[in-house]
Structure 1
Amino acid sequence: MRRYILSRLAWGALIVLAILVLNFLIVHMVPGDPIDALLGDFPVPPGYAEKIRAEFGLDKPILTQLGLYLWNLMQGNLGFSFANRMPVLDLILARLGPTVLLMVPALFFAAVVGVVLGVTAAPRAGSAQDSAITALSLFGYSVPVFWLGQMLVIVFAIQLGWLPVQGMRSMREEYTGIDLVLNILRHLAMPAFCVMIFYIAIVARVARASVSEALHHDYVLTAKAKGLSRRTILWKHVLPNAMIPVITVIGYNFGHSLTGAILVETVFAWPGIGSLFITSITNRDYPVLQGIFLLAAVSVVVINIFTDLLYALLDPRVKTSNEAR
């Protein structure tokens, strides 16, 4: 198992390096000049644009810029933001907290609720309960997130006045202690619901299909012949054998959670990685875009490795196969 983990880490490092190089080249080939975004439409003295370009190293050949970027990255330096005038690492860490606060609890509850709904619906195929859960899953999967967010704002923020419209906390008043926590939770309610409804639909659909398939295996008949209750068979025998596809989709969602809330953060002006990504595209802020791509690549690779380890815990055959390799 140790050799398997080390091999996965080595392949993960190579994948991250390939993604970094590819994203670096793509970002620098996108039409537009970051210097134009920085200077705007205001007239500048002659030679000032060339001075700024040399200051940020944009006057060097693309391969030279790539080599300098990788060298600085090995030293823990992600670069300097053109637009925000601060180190990229500090900027990303400052925006990472709100995104983690939004995505991780929402995805955790979505995973739990999705599995429960899928397990509940699978043994009752064709019933009214199964149809209701399937309809809910279809709605959550197909509804556009930006439309749902705007509808929530119109209903709960504008018409009813129950929840704040945008931001992470109220700026006109100072809160401390439990009042601050409650204020953040009120701002979190609508964007978290938009995230949850989509991922609940995905997890529920996969869990239902996987559990439905597992119910037709021979070990289920054996368990029934032994006199085990329906609940015991479902939760202790069927669900563990049906969790591999569910773990896959949950891990996939968690891997993309840090950058997957772009639309949600844009609609609700949530100060996270997603909104930073949009503003960085507008400002042609190459170092910030590359830092966000690096964060996304590392998170996806780490979550995939963790998911593979969960496979071995849930299914001994996976562990045996890895040891044989």
Structure 2
Amino acid sequence: MLRQLTYVCGRLIQIIPVALLIILANFFLLKLAPGDISEIMAGEMGAATPEFMAELRTQFGTDQSLLAQLLHYYQKLLSFDLGYSFRNGMEVTALIADRLPATAMLAGASLALAVLLGVGLGWLGANTRRAWLKNVVSVFTSIGFATPLFWVGLMLIVFFSIHLKWLPTGGVEDLDAEYQGFERLADIGKHMIMPVLSLTLFYVAIYARITRAAIKDVQKLDFVRTAKAKGIGKHRVSIIHVLRNALLPVVTVTGMQIGSILSGSVVVETVFAWPGMGRLAFDAVMQRDLNLLLGVLFCSSLVVMFANIMTDLVYARLDPRIELK
């Protein structure tokens, strides 16, 4: 426990310079994009005169040099201030805090379901002797891997919402109904079904393929043959000895997929009008809201870095040979 705590503290200290470099890279990359919020807002107001543009740039701070803007952003970040979203009229921290739970629910449920189904299908495909079942698993994973997320989402809406009228087309809950308690949880769960399925289908295919390949490799190792020679039951060998060691690459990929599942949620949240971080980032790009986009990218980067730390801890838990240093 002490070694794990020391390892986590060391990794958290390492996050600080990495986070500062990420902010630096994001800041200058976003500044390379043409246009800024002053030009967008002036154009929408129909008052793009030189005087009005200069006033807007002074208000938004874009009249300063890039170095001065960057140093000012770093200074505010020290007080945990991610800036102000002039487009939304709110603090960026408040906007992210309002949208983060929705994305956490969507990404967490999708990732957990994808791991469970993917590992189960991979184990089934590696251990079954029925050729038709192996073919079914292989075809399913190929289709899931090749199908675009937005197409899956649209087809789910057409089938379950338009034709069957079983599920709502979008949103996180029915605000007009004013549900409370268990009814509200049930309503949120009903709204989550299609977005979660859309994200899950793609990642199930990835985990199934990785698990199947890893199990096939582990089954050839000496300790598995030794366990079988000792008379240990087939299913016990398959679960305790083979699957546990085969989960190591799955854990690695899961840690890496945190970032991609957040980017994938941009598409799903847009299709289903899900009020999460992905939709917030998309709106920030379209509106040239630099402060908001920097805040979203910064928080997403922190999530990925913390996920990498958790991946290392789980890795060491599954394989005692791995030492945390």
Per the normalisation by structure 2, the TM-score is 0.93
Partner residue in 2 for 1:121 = 125
SS in 1 for 2:302: helix
What does residue range 16-55 of structure 1 map to in structure 2 within 5 Å? 16-44=19-47, 47-55=51-59
Structure 1 ranges of 4+ moved more than 4 A: none
Partner residue in 2 for 1:316 = 320
Partner residue in 2 for 1:207 = 211
Residue 42 of structure 1, CA deviation: 2.9
The C-alpha deviation readout for 1:236-257, integer Å capped at 9, x for no partner, is 0111211210101112223444
Residue 3 of structure 1, CA deviation: 5.2
- Is 1:58 aligned to 2:69, yes or no? no
* Separation in structure 1 between the aligned mates of residue 154 and residue 294 of structure 2, nearest angstrom: 30
- Aligned in 2, Cα 1:186/1:6: closer, same or farther, shift over 3 Å? closer
* Separation in structure 2 between the aligned mates of residue 111 and residue 182 of structure 1, nearest angstrom: 24
Residue 6 of structure 1, CA deviation: 4.0
The C-alpha deviation readout for 1:278-308, integer Å capped at 9, x for no partner, is 1110100000100011011111111111111
What does residue range 109-148 of structure 1 map to in structure 2 within 5 Å? 109-124=113-128, 127-148=131-152
* Separation in structure 1 between the aligned mates of residue 100 and residue 81 of structure 2, nearest angstrom: 17
Residue 161 of structure 1, CA deviation: 1.0
1:244 to 210, 224, 248: 248
Q: Residue type of the partner of 2:320?
A: P
* Separation in structure 2 between the aligned mates of residue 107 and residue 177 of structure 1, nearest angstrom: 26
Partner residue in 2 for 1:267 = 271
Partner residue in 2 for 1:229 = 233
The C-alpha deviation readout for 1:38-93, integer Å capped at 9, x for no partner, is 23333337623222211221110001100110111011000000210110000011
SS in 2 for 1:72: helix
Please say if residues 227 and 237 of structure 2, whose CA atoms lie closer than 8 Å, have aligned partners that are also in contact.
yes
The C-alpha deviation readout for 1:2-24, integer Å capped at 9, x for no partner, is 55444433333222221110001
What does residue range 146-161 of structure 1 map to in structure 2 within 5 Å? 146-161=150-165
Further displaced range: 65-74 or 117-126: 117-126
Residue 318 of structure 1, CA deviation: 1.3
1:104 to 98, 108, 122: 108
- Is 1:307 aligned to 2:282, yes or no? no
Partner residue in 1 for 2:18 = 15
Count of aligned pairs: 321
Name stretches of at least 5 consecutive residues in structure 2 with no aligned partner.
none
* Separation in structure 1 between the aligned mates of residue 160 and residue 56 of structure 2, nearest angstrom: 47
* Separation in structure 2 between the aligned mates of residue 14 and residue 113 of structure 1, nearest angstrom: 37
Q: Residue type of the partner of 1:289?
A: L
SS in 2 for 1:146: helix
Partner residue in 1 for 2:172 = 168
Per the normalisation by structure 1, the TM-score is 0.93
Name stretches of at least 5 consecutive residues in structure 1 with no aligned partner.
none
Partner residue in 2 for 1:179 = 183
Please say if residues 255 and 303 of structure 1, whose CA atoms lie closer than 8 Å, have aligned partners that are also in contact.
no
What does residue range 258-297 of structure 1 map to in structure 2 within 5 Å? 258-297=262-301
* Separation in structure 2 between the aligned mates of residue 130 and residue 193 of structure 1, nearest angstrom: 23
The C-alpha deviation readout for 1:187-228, integer Å capped at 9, x for no partner, is 111111001111111111111111110000011111111111
Residue 126 of structure 1, CA deviation: 7.2
Please say if residues 38 and 56 of structure 2, whose CA atoms lie closer than 8 Å, have aligned partners that are also in contact.
yes
The C-alpha deviation readout for 1:134-168, integer Å capped at 9, x for no partner, is 21111111100001111111111111111111111
Please say if residues 170 and 191 of structure 2, whose CA atoms lie closer than 8 Å, have aligned partners that are also in contact.
yes
